[in-house]
Amino acid sequence: MSDSISILLARHGETYWNTTQRLQGHLDSQLTVKGQNQAKKLAQTFANYGVKTVLSSTLPRALNTAKVYANNRVIPLITDPRLMERHFGVWQGQTMASLKQQKSYHEVFYQFSSTAPPEGESALVAARRFRQALAQHIMSLRSDLNISKAVLPPIGVVSHGEVLRCFLASIDSRWQQANKNASELFVNGGVTALNFNRQTQEFSLC
């Protein structure tokens, strides 16, 4: 019996707001042509790994990225709002340049703490709900497919840069004092691989 499951975490394709460095959070903007091409390249990466199930944020930029692979392969595409981007409250819709004057700017975007933007989520809260959703779906897939004694194929997850940064900081302390923000850490359409242990229900980076 294999206790380890491979997870491929991916950031959605480039959006129009990405090109102007405007903070999206729970707001949304459409994929650019470049973003659509990144979604196609991500689909090929998922295919190379043999991904049979895709989990996605419910935000259109992530969902449309995920659909490029899932619809073409006719495989399960499971959406969950807990996989959405971190909520940035009143900062959403503003440019990153305009936010640099905020006192908590560096702590919000570069550290892993309980500090939240006004009316928004802290890194700790965002990481917790993302982690709970991911673990829950993985364990449910094992039960639904009745493969407790077999190897579960790799799972693809399409989400967002900042919530991925928060989640990875929650499982690996090296990510807790990053010298780069989420956009610098996660390229659009890029993949980060990790493992999930079904016995301990713990995540670890590959």
Residues annotated within the binding site for substrate are 11-18, 61
In the annotation, is 162 catalytic?
no
In the annotation, is 85 catalytic?
yes
Radius of gyration (Cα) for the chain, nearest Å?
17
Q: How far is CA 181 from CA 21, 25, 91, 109, 149, in A?
A: 12, 14, 16, 6, 40
The C-alpha atoms of residue 111 and residue 124 are separated, in whole angstroms, by 10
Q: Please enumerate, by residue number, every residue annotated as part of a binding site.
A: 11-18, 61
| Residue among 26, 85, 87, 162 flagged as catalytic | 85
And the tokens for 37? 């091409």
CA angle 120/123/129 to nearest 5° reads 90
Residue type present at position 47: A
Residues labelled as active-site residues: 12, 85
